[in-house]
Structure 1
């Protein structure tokens, strides 16, 4: 594909996403023998196999190897339990990244769509360097493209290429896609991923509806999740800027931002969206790492790692 002219912060390019590999060493996303990442708990292998290092005994789950069943614990508890071992092999990492019109906005350093693309690239290069299998799914308003996890640079480049194509296709005049695009992407991930995979979800903060929440709950049963919803400061607070007009191809909206009640109601909606993500992460016991448009992705990931993430 041919990149459009550079528009820093508005659109990204394949060269830009490939260049993100140089920033991998600035943040320790995955653990190495010499350094332990604060996210190590997410990356310890949950693959069910016959490794040499015993980890723990836990309740049997569909898909577990029957040869690892602990019969003594099973007899004592009257419920099937299995032994879990750590294995020295790569882990499938699947990145779901949104590139829809609702992300084509930003009042800070970059548009949300660009921050999402940068995050997907940084995580992808880190996973590849960690010798993991990398794949993912890019979805926009009109289509989605899937890359099966493989331990291959070509696999990552294919994912980044689809991300750039979707990103550069965004514009203020783009048609708004179906509301359930996010849910469909999650459902597809459930169909192709095996138990023990690590799934990174990069989407607009406003994408979490009832159906998407249900799909995330089902996905979390057999995979590890990192939730990375994106927002802009204007998604949470309106400035007192007087009369503002918003238009698209068909409609026009006019609001008075001097209205204090309007601003309070708008802020309450933004806070409710954040709270819903937090409740979901707590219920599923998964990592929540919200992203924003005020700083670059390397700085944001570093801040999350320093705080150990929020569960």
Structure 2
């Protein structure tokens, strides 16, 4: 993508990203984490009202009474994006596809990080890792990432089948040398990512953004429709007008959504769903400035 078009795209995202930057920098979201944008400095004895998540269990066991970790604020908060470009992301019945929604989220967070002076990096993947950049400061790095996200939303020629979500999460674990705010953007439709996700969340503060579509929960009733899996090419016929099928489809969606949320929360990650029918900027700003997470 040429620099003129990239600058135009950045200009369109600028206003929203400024509001998002404010939320990421000063919003109450930041206080939900112990360890986001802070460095460990020591321990002290637990006091009534302390966040139980800050308890140092090793010291507590050794001393026979509870101690909590003490943190000092850092000037910079590193931000790292893990963004899904696999073929399943091409689908969408809303304003735009899942892929376009995901790349817009990634672009907004990149710009917001630039406004805040935060180092930002990313890894993107389809059936393999196709882009990796450790967190860096500066406009040149941010513009390079924006160019990649813009190309990723429209260039389908170089992608390959499959989803390397597990490899991307494992790679992020190895790449990140300090505690980082990691934002994973995916439809999470592939199996086998949970263990790597758990390891990543253990050492970092993770937000999992699940890109959804209205058809995930309820398909339009248009009779028998041929369906092709964008990842595997497997084909079948879906009886969309069948009430029994519609119930089973919705129940399956609800069960998978609940399973995904529980997996995130189990490892201390924060789950966020963004639909293709919603404005990504509005959803991100609302999330990062929310007073209550659940």
Does TM-score exceed 0.5, indicating one fold? yes
Distance 1:17 1:98 in 2: 21
- Residue 164 of structure 1 aligns to a residue in which SS? helix
Whether the aligned pair in 2 keeps the contact of 1:17 and 1:118 (CA below 8 Å) is no
Deviation at 1:60, TM superposition (A): 7.5
- Using the TM superposition, name which of 154-163 and 16-25 deviates more: 16-25
Instruction: Tell me the TM-score normalized by structure 2.
Output: 0.82
CA distance in 2, matches of 1:75, 1:258: 63
Verify the 8 A CA contact 1:121 1:160 in the aligned structure 2.
Answer: yes
Moved more, 20-29 or 40-49: 40-49
What is the alpha-carbon distance in structure 2 between the residues aligned to residue 121 and residue 309 of structure 1?
Answer: 25
The aligned residue for residue 259 of structure 2 is 276
Cα separation, 2, equivalents of 1:59 and 1:251: 49
Q: Is the 8 A contact 1:288 1:309 kept in 2?
A: no
Q: Secondary structure of 1:220's match?
A: helix
Looking at structure 1, the residues matched to 62 and 159 of structure 2 have their Cα atoms a distance apart, in angstroms, of 59
Q: Does 1:137 align with 2:123?
A: yes
Alignment root-mean-square deviation, CA: 3.1
Match of 2:31 among 12, 35, 40: 40
* 1:189 aligned onto 2:183: no
Does the CA-based 8 Å contact 1:205-1:231 persist in structure 2?
A: no
| Contact 1:244–1:256 (CA under 8 A) maintained in structure 2 | yes
Q: Find the partner of 1:177 among 153, 158, 161.
A: 161
Q: Indicate how the Cα distance of structure 1 residues 103 and 17 shifts in structure 2: closer, same or farther if over 3 A, else same.
A: farther
In the alignment of these two chains, the number of paired residues is 280
Higher relative contact order (CA 8 A, sep 6+): 2
Cα deviation 1:123-167 (Å, max 9, x = unaligned): 111122222111111112354211110111222222222222332
Relative to its length, the structure with more helix (as a share) is 2
The corresponding residue for 2:132 is 146
Pairwise CA distance, 1:89: 2.0
Q: Answer yes or no: is the 8 Å Cα contact 1:109–1:294 preserved in 2.
A: yes
The correspondence for 2:24, drawn from 1, 20, 30, is: 30
**TM score, norm. by length of structure 1:** 0.78
Query: Does structure 1 retain, via aligned residues, the 8 Å contact 2:218–2:249?
Result: yes
Report the secondary structure of 2:140's partner residue: helix
Aligned match of 2:64: 77
Alignment partners' CA distance in 2, 1:74 and 1:135: 37
Mark the runs of 5 or more structure 1 residues left unpaired by the alignment. 7-12, 62-69
**Contact map agreement 2:184 2:208 (CA 8 A) in 1:** yes
CA deviation vs aligned residue, 1:80-132 (integer Å, no higher than 9, x gap): x7853313421211011111211112111111111111111111111222221
Q: 1:309 to 1:215 in 2, by over 3 A?
A: farther
Q: Which runs of 5+ in 2 are unaligned?
A: 43-49
Alignment of 1:156-171 (within 5 A): 156-170=142-156
CA distance in 1, matches of 2:288, 2:228: 40
CA contact (8 A) 1:138 1:159 kept: no
- 2-structure distance, mates of 1:306, 1:83: 25
